[in-house]
Chains A and B, each alone.
Chain A
Amino acid sequence: MSRPGRDDSPDRLYTLTGGRTRSGPDSPFDLVTLVVAECDPATGMQSEHAAILRITEHPTAVVELAAELKLPVSITKILLSDLLTAGRVSARHPRKADLDPDVLEQVLVGLRNL
């Protein structure tokens, strides 16, 4: 199967997620959660799942994945939930920077070094 183009028709989204639906309120994924593949894509995998595993060979934020897959963020999160549940990806969740002065300082240092 080839890479899906931008086609957000409800029917396509329905098909992609098997009609399942949850990713919303209690989704573990933030826009900037970094996702890392824990295995290689295998034959017979849903093509979007395989694409995610290829892209996340390097840590990749949820929002970058969505852009790359040309899928809405919420649909991307549903696909990621499948992979996370199956142990095929791991998730590096954002730390609470505003609670952590060290992180704020690191951000400043990083920006000044640009």
Chain B
Amino acid sequence: MDSATSDARTPLGASADNGLKIVVVGGFGVGKTTLVRSVSEIRPLNTEETMTKAGEAVDDISEVRGKSATTVAFDFGRITLDARNVLYLFGAPGQERFWFLWDRLFSGTLGAVVLVDTRRIGDSWYAIDRLEHHGTPFIVACNDFGGQTYAPQQIREALDLDPHVPLLDCDARSRASAKQVLISLVEHVKNHHGPQSGRYDTQVPAPHQELAL
């Protein structure tokens, strides 16, 4: 009977009534899960979504049976902000072949953090393209792996970053640093994508696309 609550869950308070989402994207091994873990009040949990080729959440089990579906795993953490608001952080791989899945999975997100390893800058190009296309506000955080350091301007150029997009350094292992990344994102959303910015008109779903299975 009790087995469904085996792990030590930390339940939300009874008054929690508003879930919010922030997505952390980036290439393999760039520190997405580490960043989520640094600020999460729960151990990051893993779950998965089953998607059809058309990029929609499975709404017909026969599609699962027919193998026209694929499964995408993602992890997430949680931050209780106050008595009502709860923020969920999603770590999502930035590879091209996953993107139309994220488009659906993360619609309605507050914004995104693009984590960049400056030794592999190209890994984040596609994620940035998608976010721009979608009109999702984002910031870029360079995770410090102790490699060569670059001037911010060099990184901006390599990423072809719009000048208003914040670029900062971070250490995903540090709670203070991860917290600052999230604050920077929300400040950016507030300043540049507030109610008057008109971005809601631009949230058109991307036309999609085949999934290479």
Contact = CB atoms under 8 A, between A and B. Distances in A.
B19 A111 contact: no
Interface string B182-202: 110011011001110001100
B195 A99 contact: yes
Interface stretch (B4-12, B121-129, B157-165): B4-12
Interface size grouping (class) on chain A: 35 or more
A111 B65 contact: no
Interface stretch (B27-35, B78-86, B144-152, B166-174): B78-86
Contact of A98 (B16, B65, B193): B193
A78 to B, nearest CB: 9
A17 B105 CA distance: 21
A99 B200 contact: yes
A69 B57 CA distance: 18
B63 to A, nearest CB: 8
B interface secondary structure, majority: mixed
Interface size grouping (class) on chain B: 35 or more
A39 interface: no
A55 interface: yes
B183 A111 contact: yes
Give the one of A27, A54, A95, A110 with max B CB within 10 A.
Answer: A110
Nearest to A32: B19
9 contacts: A25-B57, A30-B108, A67-B45, A67-B47, A68-B45, A74-B49, A97-B18, A97-B110, A103-B18
Interface of A: 2-3, 8, 10-11, 13-14, 17, 19-25, 27, 30-34, 51, 54-55, 57-61, 63-64, 66-69, 72-75, 77, 92, 94-101, 103-112, 114
